[in-house]
Chain A
């Protein structure tokens, strides 16, 4: 299950999606989400689904990987669907005991499921096609103006990019610690909720201790490579908008407009 957590995973490639400026990708993801939540008509949803499909095709990310990203939130999706199904007021079409299903409920449930699915897939598309450092570079650049109000933009971006970089490493370490404790008879699978929570101590303590040690060593290594905060830092890959960026941004802006109009 641990291996299913693909957050932070990046699939390198040479497609248009990879070449776009990360700021563009961040902005269009935001625009896409806005469109998702303002959409009302079936036509609008149709266009949104089509947009995602085209984006996936262009980026050549495997559909399997996208669905894998849904796995952890499957429960939330199902839960939300059920809630919407039975608790939306409207014209009743079926009932069982105290649960009343309405037509509006069905529509709301389907809409919610679609929204969450497209939302997650759209966001994962972003992280799959953009390396964490590029992502944080993009964020840092977009949030740049906020430095004026003393927001530590660079520090936040650095924190994010290091966190993302260490996710696979920490997952590997968790596996190792789990194996080592299992070798001494630790049981992470059976037992009541309380028992399983207690069983996590031999996993979490070493993990935390190790994380602090890593942070300390990494900080030293960074300082030895002359890190001294955001002042005066340049970049290997400078962010530059190109024509394709403007076109894509234009498309998504138009998308939002269309969706609003179609309400």
Chain B
């Protein structure tokens, strides 16, 4: 069974007085496989964040359905279980932190779930270790860097023992170092523990190691494939306001000049290797 499945999902935000409603999602059908690492790309306003919030019932569909491991998100009785299975990390690192001490913040979710004390202790320690923040267990979270705060937020979600973690533009407010830390942490969780990861972002380079890239525009899915497949569609991506990595731009430019290079060598290493083949 898929981790998450949407059927003709539509969502409309009610507009302010005198203004029309905003149709953020206009009929989206996606299936997220268990254990996969999916990146959802799109410019601001493409509906990618709305899609993420529909995955764990923060937003309920205006039309269509969302199923988490077969459970309908509009079913109130299943709400807690759905949210336990699909955890979410948000954009603003500060506005997710509930406590003054890291361990207490990470313990928040299991406490809500009524997990016994000794078990909570274990989960907190395991979660902090999984994100590489064990030495900060008694630290004050508001004194940490952005990347560290987001890793605490991830640990807080891990403590619920979720099947899937959705990161809703969780790297948008971070500096390059913080972004790398967060990406490394979730890539590790996906690889080592098989946790499904859905990463919402507008930074193309964060999709380099993904299994699958879904590109959204104007409330619809416009592309869905491997990073390699998606990144080579340079013109289409640029038309909807996204930028391909410079590696791809370079390869396209060389192609146009007549060189025989693939257009899907997206990492620096692959790109360099591909170019070198023309010089040996």
Which A residues contact B (CB, under 8 angstroms)?
Answer: 8, 10, 12, 131-133, 161-162, 164-165, 168-169, 172, 213-214, 217-218, 220-228, 232-238
Contact = CB atoms under 8 A, between A and B. Distances in A.
Nearest to A219: B95
B98 A222 contact: yes
Interface string B95-135: 11111110110011111111111001100100000000000
A167 to B, nearest CB: 9
B87 A238 contact: no
B40 interface: no
A15 to B, nearest CB: 14
A228 B100 contact: no
Contacts of A218: 95-96, 98
Nearest to B123: A236
Contact of B138 (A12, A162, A169, A172): A12
A234 B98 contact: no
B56 A238 contact: no
A225 B160 contact: yes
Interface residues of B, number: 39
Contacts, number: 103
A25 B142 CA distance: 25
A162 B109 CA distance: 15
Contacts of B115: 234
Given A224-B56, A226-B83, A233-B112, A217 B101 contact: no
Contact of A165 (B99, B109, B111, B116): B99
27 contacts: A8-B100, A10-B101, A133-B101, A161-B99, A165-B97, A169-B94, A172-B142, A214-B92, A214-B95, A218-B95, A218-B98, A221-B90, A221-B95, A223-B83, A225-B112, A225-B157, A226-B83, A226-B112, A228-B80, A233-B111, A234-B110, A234-B111, A234-B114, A234-B115, A236-B104, A236-B117, A237-B104
A232 B103 CA distance: 20
Interface string B59-100: 000000000000000000000100110011010101111111
Contact of B83 (A224, A233, A237): A224
4 smallest beta-carbon distances between A and B, as pairs: A236-B107, A217-B95, A225-B109, A221-B96
A232 B95 contact: no
